[in-house]
């Protein structure tokens, strides 16, 4: 199994669920994580990533870490300084229409969104609310483009798009698609030579559907237009994702693998969870399993079954621990000797 991994955690794209998979694998195999200085969950985002943002890195005696997966704005030469040259690079993308709808609910406090009542209102005259010089502008436009390190306000010429796609292809071994999450996990498992249980997960950091709003066709087209760079990235890598599936796995085997993954997930849900699924924040009984609530989104969580034996309880708890709590526990473990 591959143990040196860079995951670019793109915002609002099922990336917290992927992060849980990486946390569990890293913990099980005793791997080191490139944590932000002082813990925390962002590598000084939205600044471009620098090696010096990583706890325990020093230019005079650079040490390498196994897994780099916290929020960052990608900058490969700096990433190279903290991971092995043979590290596996991957990321996950999401349909920009869904991404923007989610971002609007989650980052309602961002300067571009704070003065509007609805996404429709914002899209009617975006430049009335959107200022390219605002430090948090990226939440409102081409968020994936920004996370990959590019300018979200860049012009959309065929030449520029081609260069951007080429640069992403040159840096990343695999781009997953969140709309096909299970297929993505099967492909990831293949590429990393991991077993099925390593990529099983429960969806984390997901919104209660009551805060999601259906979008009209007009709004959908406006979102694509406003996020044209993201749309180009998404459509290109959605196509190459399926080309890869056909080349490396084949549709039939993919169906079998997805079925096995879902069955295993169901089995774990029956073992671990009270009521089999996610619950609203107010119904989460164990406060250490409560996810961070943000913006106008209501983020769901889980309740574990009572009376599980110690080993099962540990396994189940790892599956449902929210990102911030899990990250902080691993940070404490990794730097136990340095903490006051």
| pLDDT, position 275 | 85
Q: Which residues pair with 92 in a beta bridge?
A: 176
340 occurs within a structural domain? no
- CA distance linking residue 290 with residue 325, whole number of Å: 9
237 occurs within a structural domain? yes
299 occurs within a structural domain? yes
- CA distance linking residue 67 with residue 331, whole number of Å: 13
For residue 104, what are the CA distances in angstroms to 9, 87, 242?
A: 18, 34, 29
CB 94 within 8 A of CB 234: yes
Q: Which residues form the domain of 42? A: 5-335
Local confidence pLDDT in tens for the 340 residues of the chain? 999 999 999 999 989 999 999 999 999 999 999 999 999 899 999 999 999 999 999 999 888 999 999 999 999 999 999 999 999 999 999 999 999 999 998 999 999 999 999 999 999 999 999 999 999 999 999 999 999 999 999 999 999 999 999 999 999 999 999 999 999 999 999 999 999 999 999 988 888 777 777 899 999 999 999 999 999 999 999 999 999 999 999 999 999 999 999 999 999 999 999 986 899 999 999 999 999 887 777 889 999 999 999 999 999 999 999 999 999 999 999 998 665 5
| pLDDT, position 339 | 56
| pLDDT, position 40 | 85
| pLDDT, position 337 | 67
Give the burial class of 59: count Cβ atoms within 10 A of its Cβ; 0-12 exposed, 13-18 middle, 19 or more buried.
Answer: exposed
| pLDDT, position 72 | 98
CATH number for the domain harbouring residue 193 = 3.40.50
Phi-psi region of 125 (alpha: psi -120 to 50; beta: other; left: phi over 0): beta
Q: What is the side-by-side order of every strand in the sheet holding 174-177?
A: 67-68, 5-8, 88-93, 174-177
| Secondary structure letter of residue 279 according to DSSP | B
Number of domains in the chain: 1
Q: Tokens 């990608």, residue? A: 74
280 occurs within a structural domain? yes
39 occurs within a structural domain? yes
- Name the token pair of 292: 């961070």
């Amino acid at each position: 199994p591959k143990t040196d991994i860079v995951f670019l955690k793109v915002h609002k794209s099922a990336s917290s669920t992927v992060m849980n998979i990486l946390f569990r694998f890293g913990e099980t195999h005793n791997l080191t994580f490139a944590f932000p200085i002082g813990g925390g969950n962002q590598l000084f985002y939205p600044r471009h990533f620098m090696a010096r943002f990583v706890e325990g890195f020093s230019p005079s005696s650079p040490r390498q870490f196994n897994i780099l997966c916290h929020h960052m704005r990608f900058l490969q030469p700096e990433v190279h300084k903290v991971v092995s040259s043979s590290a596996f690079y991957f990321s996950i993308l999401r349909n920009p229409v869904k991404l923007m709808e989610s971002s609007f609910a989650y980052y309602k406090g961002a300067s571009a969104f704070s003065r509007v009542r609805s996404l429709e209102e914002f899209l009617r005259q975006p430049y009335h609310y959107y200022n390219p010089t605002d430090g948090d502008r990226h939440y409102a436009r081409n968020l994936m483009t920004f996370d990959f390190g590019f300018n979200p306000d860049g012009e959309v010429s065929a030449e520029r798009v081609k260069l951007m796609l080429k640069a992403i292809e040159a840096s990343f071994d695999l781009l997953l698609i969140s709309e096909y999450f299970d297929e993505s996990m099967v492909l990831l498992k293949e590429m990393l030579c991991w077993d099925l249980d390593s990529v099983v997960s429960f969806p984390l950091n997901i919104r209660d559907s009551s805060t999601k709003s259906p979008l009209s066709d007009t709004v959908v087209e406006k979102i694509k237009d406003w996020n044209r760079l993201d749309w180009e990235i998404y459509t290109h890598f959605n196509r190459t994702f399926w080309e890869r599936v056909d080349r490396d796995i084949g549709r039939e085997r993919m169906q079998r693998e997805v079925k096995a993954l879902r069955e295993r997930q169901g089995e774990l849900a029956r073992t671990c969870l009270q009521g089999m699924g996610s619950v609203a924040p107010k119904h989460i009984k164990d406060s250490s399993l409560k996810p961070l609530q943000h913006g106008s989104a209501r983020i769901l969580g889980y309740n574990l079954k009572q009376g599980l034996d110690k080993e099962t309880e540990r396994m189940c708890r790892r599956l449902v621990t929210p990102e911030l709590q899990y990250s902080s526990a691993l940070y404490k473990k990794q730097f136990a000797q340095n903490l006051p």
